[in-house]
Chain A
């Protein structure tokens, strides 16, 4: 089974802090993704990466950055946390479509982040 592990289940930070959310997958997946989930809005893509050191903006990248130095690890960074970034953050990984055909994404259990 695919295992996607997010380092914290709950996190409380203050406005203006730099916040790091970590995600590790154990299935050697090329693709990794960061989403946030808000009530009534579903999951929205923040950033994704299809290879080490490669990253692309998703639908709502403002206020966020990412880092992928190793294949198994994908970090989301809130450069200067604001209260509107209080949310559930979900990491996912998947195999590349090119080699394997359509592939589902597999999710971690999420980090509930509160910015005070």
Chain B
């Protein structure tokens, strides 16, 4: 049972445009959401997070939006740059001690010049 889903395995965007990556979840106990970026042969790097008390969090070119009623979050990257080409994972955690993360399957983002 996939509790966190990224339905798009890949996404291709032109440099300078907006990249929008989507993620859906099913468990209403999740209250902390994260995006990680992963290059080949490296571990995932934390990008941005949002807690359920907010609906938006911004950090430079990266903005995460949370729609709790729809159980949906999205990551917006504006403007997209070639270095953004990577696999992006969304992850979710319930409100409890060790904050176990549940990951989506990942979306491969390719930024074209």
Q: Residues of A at under 8 Å CB distance from B?
A: 4, 9, 31, 33, 35, 40-45, 48, 50, 56, 58-59, 90, 92, 94, 96-98, 102-110
Residue pair A110, B99 in contact (C-beta under 8 Å): no
Residue pair A42, B43 in contact (C-beta under 8 Å): no
Residue pair A109, B42 in contact (C-beta under 8 Å): yes
Given A105-B46, A107-B43, A107-B44, 17 additional A-B pairs, CB 8 A: A35-B103, A41-B105, A42-B89, A43-B89, A43-B91, A43-B103, A44-B103, A45-B101, A50-B97, A92-B43, A96-B97, A96-B98, A97-B96, A104-B46, A104-B49, A109-B42, A110-B42
Sorted from nearest, which 5 A-B pairs have the closest CB atoms?
A107-B43, A42-B103, A104-B46, A43-B103, A50-B98
Interchain Cβ contacts under 8 Å between A and B, 10 examples: A9-B41, A42-B103, A43-B91, A45-B101, A59-B102, A97-B96, A102-B32, A102-B49, A107-B36, A110-B42
